[in-house]
Homo-oligomer: A and B are copies of this chain.
């Protein structure tokens, strides 16, 4: 105990000196008033929170409300609830706050006259783009995945994926049609939602995938029945996703065979499905369905088999994108190149706007008004995206997420060995994109509650998992609080 106290004192002194000499960490420089520890004084939600939830529930379905947030008081990695409880946020609005609460760089971007103008003069950018739209779009492309040369903006992850599906359908139909015109039968039948005008194309996805909740994206989502029950769906194929053993580097033989089995099934489905597969959509890490990983070899194999059959590969980086995996885009871990790069990459969440990137000019429809809608993006949010991408790249935040991730992974595997209460720690080498399992769904739910009352906010994933989804200014000092709290919460769960 004495040794620990001494160590803590020394570390504190060092940090203070570092700050006073200008060696403050980026989080410290960005959030000079960030709390130094969680502070919980009431139940969460507390009395004020409960009152506010009841009021909200009268006008807006609040069945899923965890707690009400005072966003103006939240600061950096700390979220403050309606009762003034201050929690270390390792979930970040379902993995969507990139740079902490009230980041001054983003506040500056929000106050920019171009952002204000985009909010009050919301443009129909397909017909009447702003004179600065090229600059905004180019700002996205500057930090786009390797090889990507164009972007089509959308409004959410579901929207981005469905826009990418439309691009894939139009591309595949054009490829088949060549330079021929639409036939009279096509023009007429599509108005009845029938072939040959309405094409019976399919999008293939994977078991336990999550790609959104609108009707076509939901048809690709295979995470939980509650997402899908009662909603009409397209009859599209579902391939098995590798069920790997962790740690990955200690189960290479088993995992290689499992990935091979899945790729064979992918090819079988492409060849044998009742309708032509226009594209395969895949997450680099299945993020809602349990944080399921696969190796770069699996994804390379997937690229090979899609290319072999003329099927487009859509990489859904909605949750994995923008730095948290240790790379700006998670699929950069796969080492793809040239013609082997993905055809389309979708983004949202931490980008704070949405859309799909692509690299082959043939993905752009040759006629106007095929990929089109009133707003064609949301420049107010795109202004924020520009500030986020710049901040992430200029401060090399993916590399910092890798450092903190290594520290977290090491800490969690130690807890796994010491307590035996958590298992399948996963995400090694994938930045802070780390998960682990509890012994059951019920124990997981209890663990989330325990963590919250100890002042740390985490999210569940899959049937019994916990996922870490902090922002990119989550540093070692925050990670240390997280790990200490995990130990405490696991001790509580014994009692």
Contact = CB atoms under 8 A, between A and B. Distances in A.
Interface of A: 52, 55-56, 58-72, 74, 79, 82, 93-94, 96-97, 101-103, 106-107, 109-111, 113-131, 133-134, 137-138, 141, 149-153, 155-159, 162, 165-166, 169-170, 172-174, 182, 186-188, 190-194, 197-202, 212-216, 219, 222, 225-236, 238, 348-349, 352, 364-365, 367-375, 380-381, 384
A381 B381 CA distance: 10
Given A56-B129, A130-B71, A199 B230 contact: yes
B235 A234 contact: no
A335 B328 CA distance: 56
A216 B215 contact: yes
B238 A192 contact: yes
Given A198-B232, A229-B182, A68 B131 contact: yes
Nearest to A71: B121
Contact of A214 (B79, B198, B216): B216
A149 B59 contact: yes
A64 to B, nearest CB: 4
A365 to B, nearest CB: 7
A216 B193 CA distance: 11
Nearest to A48: B131
Given A158-B373, A182-B225, A380-B380, A72 B117 contact: yes
12 contacts: A56-B134, A60-B129, A60-B153, A71-B130, A93-B374, A97-B122, A155-B156, A156-B159, A169-B232, A173-B229, A198-B230, A380-B381
Contacts of A56: 129, 133-134, 137
Nearest to A383: B119
A469 to B, nearest CB: 11
Nearest to A192: B238
Question: Chain copies in the assembly?
Answer: 2
B212 A215 contact: no
Contacts of A107: 116, 120
Contacts of A152: 60-61
A197 B297 CA distance: 35
B71 A372 contact: no
Contact of A111 (B116, B127, B157, B226): B116
Nearest to A174: B230
Contacts of A352: 122
A376 to B, nearest CB: 8
Contacts of A198: 228, 230-233
Contact of A69 (B96, B131, B364): B131
Contacts of A234: 193, 215, 232, 234
B129 A63 contact: no
A381 B72 contact: no
Contacts of A121: 71, 74, 93, 97, 101-102
A367 to B, nearest CB: 7
A250 to B, nearest CB: 31
Given A59-B134, A214-B214, A117 B102 contact: yes
B116 A369 contact: no
Nearest to A150: B59
Contacts of A368: 63-64
Contacts of A372: 64, 213
A111 to B, nearest CB: 7
